[in-house]
Structure 1
Amino acid sequence: MRTSTRRPGRLVALTAVAALTAGLLAACSSDPGSDGAGGGNGKVTLNVGTFGVFGFKQAGLYAAYEKSHPNIRIKENVIERNDVYYPKLLTQLQSGAGVNDVTAIEVSNITEVVQTQAAKFEDLGKAAGVDKSQYLDWKWNQATTADGKTVALGTDIGPTALCYRKDLFKKAGLPTDRDELAKAWAGDWNKYVAMGDRYMKRAPKGSKFVDSASSVYNAVFAGARERYYDKAGKGGKEIYETSAGRKAAWDTAMKVAQSTMSAKLKQFDPTWDQGFANARFATVACPAWMAGYIQEKAGASGKGEWDVTRAPTDGNWGGSFVGVPSAGRHKKEATDLAVWLTRPEQLAKVFAKQASFPSTPSVYGSLKPSPTTTAYFSDAPLTKIFGDTARNIPSAVYGVKDAQIGQSITDIGVLQVEQQGKSPAEGWKAAEKEIKDVLGQ
């Protein structure tokens, strides 16, 4: 659920290709005999665009909706990485062609969408059946314009814990009890790094302590009050150079990047997925939404080996929304579906399947993960861990280019130090160049 940036020249080329592809797709879907046009078999096909595993399908929500709405067929279009998905979404919105009827938006992109793309979305705040009071205030406000238009409804938030492999910890001679580990590094990410040093002294063959330094950067930054902008809105000024939150996350990530404890994988790439399956790393920063991802990618061999514990500091990494583009062909049906998918009872079902934590606090007291997920993570009290973290998430400011700045730091700066052996100063210089490129400075 992360995003990345591309240099302007390359982005122009990709945008042109994407626009052509979108146009061709739109031409195909306009065939009067196609299912997508509502012709042929008499059904309306609603295309739902997502990045990664959202859980709607896995929790049976699509099937349930189709059963109660026999004229509707739902097709989910998944792009694994948001850094591919989001630029494509912007291209579709710009051209008005090829848009999904319901489209997902990641939290680090929502400010840009609200401030630059709001006119291209339906106002879901006025949709039938929507109750603003059911959502977290800060989540609702993130998707609402200054004049009150709500462009998307919240699905999940990302209270962040740490997932770890008990079997690898045991072989390395480390504690395996989740409460003992949480206490050992409580309040201090340096203690987590020190645990990594201990792990590497007796690391099981072929394994590392953590998947990547970028993972550590994101987890530390998730708890930052000061991020990349000094305030929200178009007048917000970028402060990534001096931000205390960014500096703390960068310094911790550099300790990991320059050590032997990282598997040096790029998150959400195929090699990272394989790392889960092959037990290549013992810990990973674990927002609630990642529980389902781990369960899917690690597979049956990871059942009962993975566990979950509190991170050194509480924070929010990720979370998403769904909106209805105004260029869609079935806005009324799409709006009804978006509202239904984000009702508290539906989001509770997604949590029950894969532990994605809802944006609707009314269900927090009754949330129960599925027995399958609980068993997979060694009977960890997922609701309590993520719920306690959610209640302590600090208020933070998200800016227009928040996602692009963050991905420039992790996918350019951190990776150059971790994978290419460059110094932290060189890595930061490369990240800054990419950021300035993105910001047009």
Structure 2
Amino acid sequence: MRRSTGSYRSRAVVLAAVAALGAGLLSGCADDGDDSKSGKSGGGGGGGTTITMGLFGTFGFEEAGLYDEYMKLHPDIKIEQTVIERNENYYPQLLNHLSTGSGLADVQGIEIANITEVGQTQAAKFVDLSKTEGVKKENWLDWKWQQGTTKDGKTIGLGTDIGPMAICYRKDLFQKAGLPTDREKVGQLWSGDWNKYLEAGEKYMKKAPGDTTFVDAASGVYNAVISSSAERYYDKSGKVVYKDSPAVKDAWDIATKAATGHLTAKLQQFQKTWDQAFANGKFATVACPPWMLGYIQEKAGDKAKNQWDVAAAPKPGNWGGSFLGVPEAGKHKEEAAKLVAWLTAPEQQAKLFAKRGSWPSAVASYSLPKVSTAKHPYFDNAPIGQIFTQAAKGIPVQVLGPKDQIIASNIADIGLLQVDQQGKSPEEGWKAATKSIDNALDQ
């Protein structure tokens, strides 16, 4: 999965955790390492056509054995993969290659944070994958298909993974604070309303064990709340509206209330202090897409096995996901499109989930046993197949804009961080965030 600070996190965030945890259900996606790795891999297939894959982070296709399987099915095909670990380095290179029409792989990965900009500015340079044999729109979640399809109906990318939201919580800490521990009852504490999540936090803090807090970070709360909203930073016409967006205001108010109400551990996600807090059991809840499970397992360690559990979030939301596209300038467009169709088919998405923990965007895979019966042994055998399927089906069709990532990152890492860590007022934090965003957007 690909995530960036704030709304998204670069794909490289949780993948080292996956590698460390080994095969089987269920880890996560990536670790936010540096960009020192950039190489080619592949094998099998002795045939005369080599299809090149240009990706970022770790999509997991090779690790899950999907390339080898495809090459056995198609002996005339060889798959070769080039990887740049961080999307912030990968994406500018992709845009440069698209502008020059050279240096492109036959298949290119596209992060959810960039899919709208690519669709608006580069659509003519991609093959319409909706016309590829075997591609059926109904196989995907409707909102995921729409994200990869332009307003005039051209599908420039087929969805790989998504990040439906849940809440991971510490049962041992909940019990000591007098809160229910059963995952169904925990979900009922805040069902349908993020404000109820804060109310549960206030109850927790009255009897909080030791020096623990209810939640990790104000930015994490904000991201979870805003992820469950349809219209956020842009309206449907493409206008930047975050300053007047009811969804942004609601998410900001809830997040800053968590900060000023002393419900947070005042951390910044994906930093060493955050990792240490997992290890030391310093907070009781965290917004939790499927890829977060492996991260928690690695950072919290064996001593916290069965202490963590998974409950439904107040509202369905999405954090993460990517697409595969086929550039028009590629050497093997027809063969590449067939490979993309196969890699993103429900059966392959289910295999990738079982091996790598990437939650499928193909709704048709949810009825397959690898997904529907999935449980996570570290989280007291939580029925994650059921929990995340329900969340995925409830995610709204989100209006994405070309600069969503910039807006979200500044709200989280400038505005909310000042409120959460520096004690600034919500008004001061908002002013700092909007000033930074305006500078970034040249407004």
Residue number among 168, 172, 182 corresponding to 1:163 in the alignment:
168
Residue number among 216, 237, 241 corresponding to 1:211 in the alignment:
216
CA distance in 2, matches of 1:76, 1:299: 32
CA distance in 2, matches of 1:77, 1:167: 41
> Quick check: 1:35–1:41 contact (8 Å CA) kept in 2?
no
Equivalent position SS for 1:368:
helix
CA distance in 2, matches of 1:91, 1:273: 36
Cα deviation digits, residues 5-61 of structure 1 (max 9, x gap)? 9xxxxxxxxxxxxxxxx9xx99xx9xxxx989x9x998947344134x644345332
Matched, 1:108 2:113: yes
Amino acid of the residue matched to residue 46 of structure 1?
Answer: T
Shift of 1:406: 1.7
State the partner residue of 1:229.
Answer: 234
Alignment of 1:90-129 (within 5 A): 90-94=95-99, 99=104, 101-129=106-134
Residue number among 85, 97, 100 corresponding to 1:79 in the alignment:
85
> Quick check: 2:213–2:284 contact (8 Å CA) kept in 1?
yes
State the partner residue of 1:46.
Answer: 52
> Quick check: 2:48–2:78 contact (8 Å CA) kept in 1?
no
Matched, 1:197 2:198: no
Equivalent position SS for 1:241:
helix
Shift of 1:145: 2.1
Distance 1:340-1:244 versus aligned 2 partners, 3 A rule:
same
State the partner residue of 1:386.
Answer: 388
Q: Higher mean Cα deviation, 385-394 or 424-433?
A: 385-394
CA distance in 2, matches of 1:218, 1:267: 11
Amino acid of the residue matched to residue 158 of structure 1?
Answer: G
> Quick check: 1:367–1:383 contact (8 Å CA) kept in 2?
no
Matched, 1:411 2:413: yes
CA distance in 2, matches of 1:297, 1:208: 18
Equivalent position SS for 2:168:
strand
CA distance in 1, matches of 2:79, 2:272: 30
CA distance in 2, matches of 1:415, 1:119: 40
CA distance in 2, matches of 1:167, 1:73: 47
CA distance in 1, matches of 2:187, 2:318: 17
Which residues of structure 1 form unaligned runs of 5+?
6-21
> Quick check: 2:374–2:383 contact (8 Å CA) kept in 1?
no
> Quick check: 1:209–1:283 contact (8 Å CA) kept in 2?
yes
State the partner residue of 1:150.
Answer: 155
Equivalent position SS for 1:317:
strand
- TM-score for both structures, normalised by structure 2: 0.80
Distance 1:252-1:58 versus aligned 2 partners, 3 A rule:
farther
Shift of 1:224: 1.7
Cα deviation digits, residues 40-88 of structure 1 (max 9, x gap)? 998947344134x6443453324433554565254462635x5555445
State the partner residue of 2:3.
Answer: 2
Shift of 1:99: 4.9
Amino acid of the residue matched to residue 55 of structure 2?
Answer: G
Cα deviation digits, residues 365-389 of structure 1 (max 9, x gap)? 2343498852122122222222222
Aligned length: 411
Matched, 1:438 2:443: no
State the partner residue of 1:348.
Answer: 350
Shift of 1:419: 2.3
State the partner residue of 2:263.
Answer: 261
> Quick check: 1:229–1:240 contact (8 Å CA) kept in 2?
yes
Distance 1:220-1:367 versus aligned 2 partners, 3 A rule:
farther
State the partner residue of 2:188.
Answer: 183
Cα deviation digits, residues 333-367 of structure 1 (max 9, x gap)? 54343222101101112233455432222222234
Which residues of structure 2 form unaligned runs of 5+?
7-34
State the partner residue of 1:374.
Answer: 376
CA distance in 1, matches of 2:60, 2:148: 21
Distance 1:343-1:63 versus aligned 2 partners, 3 A rule:
same
> Quick check: 2:372–2:385 contact (8 Å CA) kept in 1?
no
Amino acid of the residue matched to residue 254 of structure 1?
Answer: T
Distance 1:74-1:433 versus aligned 2 partners, 3 A rule:
same
Identity of aligned residues (%): 56
Shift of 1:96: 5.3
> Quick check: 2:51–2:336 contact (8 Å CA) kept in 1?
no
CA distance in 1, matches of 2:349, 2:343: 7
CA distance in 2, matches of 1:111, 1:424: 30
State the partner residue of 2:69.
Answer: 64
CA distance in 2, matches of 1:56, 1:301: 31
CA distance in 2, matches of 1:100, 1:299: 39
CA distance in 1, matches of 2:71, 2:302: 30
State the partner residue of 1:19.
Answer: none
Equivalent position SS for 1:284:
strand
> Quick check: 1:4–1:404 contact (8 Å CA) kept in 2?
no
CA-atom RMSD, angstroms?
Answer: 3.5
Q: Higher mean Cα deviation, 369-378 or 319-328?
A: 369-378
